[in-house]
Structure 1
Amino acid sequence: MYVTTSNVLTEPLTLMSIGLGLTAAILITIAVLVPPSGIKNSKNIEGRGLIYYTCALFMWASMADMSIQTAHFGFFMGLESNTDYFTNGEPYLMTPIGISTQYWNAIVNYVLYLFIIYKIDNNQDPRNFVLYWCGSICTSQFVLMSGILTGSYSDQLEYAVWMNVTFVVFPVWVLWKYLVKPRTDLPVKIAEKHQSGFLDLILSVGLIAASCLAFVRVLGAMGSKFPVMKYYATHYEPHLLDETDFGKTWALYSAMYGIPFQLAAVYGLRCPGKEWMLNLSVYYAASMLQGSFVFTSYSWYPSSEEQYRIPDESRSTVLCINIALVFLANLLMFRCLSDPGYFAPKPAVQDKKRK
């Protein structure tokens, strides 16, 4: 933080160099203090590998996010507020969406890192926490990076923005690794016949409704003149039209990923044996929680533009809609993880029985 008080060290290229240098130094230090030989990778144990050290490194980034934002607001160790880092490095972090994203990373993602590291150090499968973290950070990075490159900040990009590549590449790699990695929590014995219950019916109806809302939201964010889409965007969630494009990219992300998964999940709830439901439901739950919180919070900030705030007469409705979306997504995750046998593929179960 003290680095940002020097005019020499706030040059964009210098800031990026310092950031990359500190990242490498911290990663090496962590590897020396907590060597990978402590817990080795095996068939059912993750071990201290790239995922472990990625979490340790990103924890430092979370603390940096917290210190930068709190110092900006004048609450960090008595330092006066300054905007040097934002001006010369990542100016979009001064927006309401940028502030909420950094605080989310500093608090929620930090806790997830702790759980993942704890699970690995205690020879437990960290899969669900890893997937939840992937849903959280991939959502924030897709929205931020897409908005940066297309919105009003696209002509203010400095070298420091490229430090975000690390926070895009590693989470995507980790996500892919766990999507293709066989699960170890599937039951050996499952019922031969499964029946979809009343909860599955409620979830299916909710997922279809969520898909319809995502369709209306994304077309409204894209500037559709169709009355329903235009009315929703202007009277319920005007932040979708913010010139930074963060609202638009959130709507686009929730439609590109949300609609296909939500409709596929309806099928997965009706037809047993779809193992992919276990992984993707966790990712989906985190995505909806992170996105809904960050973008609903836009109207909480005094710095947000009046024309893009949720109108007072629609505030309760918008909050209820977003809370319902988050509740639905996390209820789906609970449904899947509480009964993994319903989603276990029969061939895999039969192979385990033979062994």
Structure 2
Amino acid sequence: MAMATGVFFLSLTAIPVTYLANALLEGRGEGEVLTVGYGVLATIALMSYVIVRLSKGSQKVSDPFFYVFAVFAFTSVVDIVLAMELDGIIDNFMASYLKEGEPYLNTAHGTLINYWDGSGHYCMYLMMVTAIVWGQSYKEVGLYWAGSILNSMVVFMPGNVSGKYGSNVKSSYFLNIPYVLFPILVALKCLRQRPETNVERADVVAAQKKSIWKRPLDVFFVLFLFFAILISFLRMAAALKSPASIAVYYLKNFEPYFQDPVLYPMIQALVYWFYFVPYFVAAIYGFLNPGCTWMSDWALLSAGASAQAQFSHIGSSLHSRTPYIYRVPSDGLTAFWIINVALMLVPQLIAWRCLTWPAFFEAKPCSSEVRDGKSSLEQRKDK
């Protein structure tokens, strides 16, 4: 059996395992839940190693992150089971864990992050596992995943201990530590890898000579980033219950979810202001000044973080687990959708632009390369 296929089928064993574990943990304390949780993760890591050893393929796994992604793929299936149980689609698969393990998952935010992990992250794990088996780079997917899951953890873990459920945090909280540690390690590894581009120096010279006004798509992105900075400031002020009239109006008419006592939406607003906004400023600089080689990597991190953040925020703002008074008012739905969908989709377009036409972001050619670039351009024109 191919190793990637083996990991896929191994992840599906999460369905019967959750059902059996739910029966086993019924009436047990939080200590037993933590022990069983780490025991299952260790068993899945061992099984993925067995799959590698039994594989008859010529490719051998040399990247230790293969085993990390195999375990995380399994937990992604666990999370989609959790989400479906929270929404009442299935029953008696994770009830014991929700009671004795992580009770703060009984929220709209907990439901939505589980849906995202069980769908978006799950696909990314399978893609990265396949890339490792085939001996290919998973840099782009790895950066996108790292941005996505780090945003999830930066909001989720502080919200668990400071929000409505902060007084009921159990030892299973520490099962989330690997989801903070390993994404950082993967991001560092991917950021150290040199980008694989085949852009000719002549194309770099031509692209970098164009002003922003001759790049209408980049003009749109710069204008969006200015808008994103302003709306991030407004949302941060609204989340912190600023008495400013515009913040009060926005909170009441468009996003009352920021008042939810679970605090996840407030923390997400603060993450936008303190982490996203510095990137937005840097990205504006990158679009205005050629040769910012970091643009593609950080655009991928931002795109992953934006996708996860907005998926969870939009879904939670409308979800039935959110108290009615904190859901989006019907009169503000249009503005709510425009603002939040833009914050979700445009970063994806920025990442696509940086990866598809990277010439403007390549390192600036030295003077001799510029002369060579000019001569090659002239030769093209003559032809």
TM-score (norm 1): 0.90
Aligned to 1:26: 44
Identify the match of residue 235 of structure 2 among 201, 204, 217: 217
After TM superposition, list the pairs within 5 Å mapping 1:160-239 onto structure 2: 160-185=172-197, 187=199, 189=201, 190-193=203-206, 194=208, 195=210, 196=212, 197-239=215-257
Q: Which secondary structure does the structure 2 equivalent of 1:152 belong to?
A: coil
Secondary structure at the aligned position of 1:187 is classed as: coil
**Equivalence for 1:64:** 78
The correspondence for 2:162, drawn from 120, 134, 150, is 150
Q: Give the structure with higher Rg (CA).
A: 2
Give the conservation status (yes or no) of the 8 Å contact 1:186–1:340.
Answer: no
Conservation of the 8 A alpha-carbon contact between 1:136 and 1:290: yes
Inter-CA distance 72–290: structure 2 relative to 1 (3 Å threshold): closer
1:335 paired with 2:356, answer no
The Cα shift of 1:122 comes to 2.2
Q: Secondary structure at the match of 2:185?
A: helix
CA shift digits 1:332-352 (9 cap, x unpaired) = 11110011222111369999x
Structure 2: which amino acid aligns with 1:23? L
> Counterpart amino acid of 2:66?
Y
The within-5 A match list for 1:290-301 is 290-301=308-319
Structure 2 matches for 1:106-117, cutoff 5 A?
106-117=118-129
Aligned to 1:261: 279
- What code does the residue aligned with 1:166 have? P
CA RMSD of aligned residues (A): 2.4
2:236–2:270 contact (8 Å) kept in structure 1? yes
Task: Find the counterpart in structure 1 of residue 379 from structure 2.
Answer: none
Residue 306 of structure 1: how far off its partner (Å): 1.2
Unaligned runs of 5+ in 2: 1-17, 373-383
Contact 1:179 1:279 in 2 (8 A): yes
Number of residue pairs aligned between Structure 1 and Structure 2: 344
Contact 1:134 1:172 in 2 (8 A): yes
Question: Which residue pairs with 2:115 in the alignment?
Answer: 103
User: Gaps (5+ residues) in structure 1?
Assistant: 41-46
Offset, 1:305: 0.4
Residue 8 of structure 1: how far off its partner (Å)? 5.6
Larger mean Cα displacement after TM superposition, 65-74 or 165-174? 65-74
Aligned to 1:288: 306
* Residue 268 of structure 2 is aligned to residue 243 of structure 1: no
Q: Deviations over 1:224-271 (max 9, x none)?
A: 111112221222111112111100111111111211111110110111
Deviations 1:165-191 (A, max 9, x none): 011111111112212322223535343
Assess, with a 3 A threshold, how the Cα gap between structure 1 residues 348 and 223 changes in structure 2: closer, same or farther. farther
Deviation for aligned residue 1:299: 3.6
Query: Closer, same or farther in 2 for the Cα pair 1:347/1:117, shift >3 Å?
Result: farther
**For 2:31 and 2:167, how far apart are their aligned partners in 1?**
16
SS at match of 1:257: helix
Q: Compared with structure 1, are the counterparts of its residues 223 and 287 closer, same or farther at alpha carbon in structure 2 (3 Å cutoff)?
A: same
What's the CA shift for 1:296?
Answer: 1.0
**C-alpha separation in 1, matches of 2:82 and 2:176:** 16
- SS in structure 1 at match of 2:166: coil
Asked if residue 93 in structure 1 is aligned to residue 105 in structure 2, the reply is: yes
| Post-superposition offset of 1:123 | 2.5
Q: Find the aligned partners of 2:123 and 2:363 in 1 and give their Cα distance.
A: 32
Structure 2: distance between partners of 1:39 and 1:223: 56
Query: Which secondary structure does the structure 2 equivalent of 1:310 belong to?
Result: coil
1:312 positional shift: 0.8
The alignment partner of 1:155 has SS state of: helix
Provide the C-alpha distance between the structure 2 equivalents of 1:269 and 1:11, rounded to a whole number of angstroms: 54
Distance 1:316 1:212 in 2: 19
CA–CA distance in 2 between the matches of 1:168 and 1:232? 33
Q: Deviations over 1:125-178 (max 9, x none)?
A: 211111111111111111110111221211110000100001111111111221
Larger deviation, residues 177-186 vs 309-318: 177-186
The superposition leaves residues 37-95 of structure 1 with CA deviations (integer Å, 9 ceiling, x where unpaired) of 9646xxxxxx641322211110000011122333454544xx44763211211011110
Task: Give the TM-score, by structure 2 length.
Answer: 0.84
Match of 1:273 in 2: 291
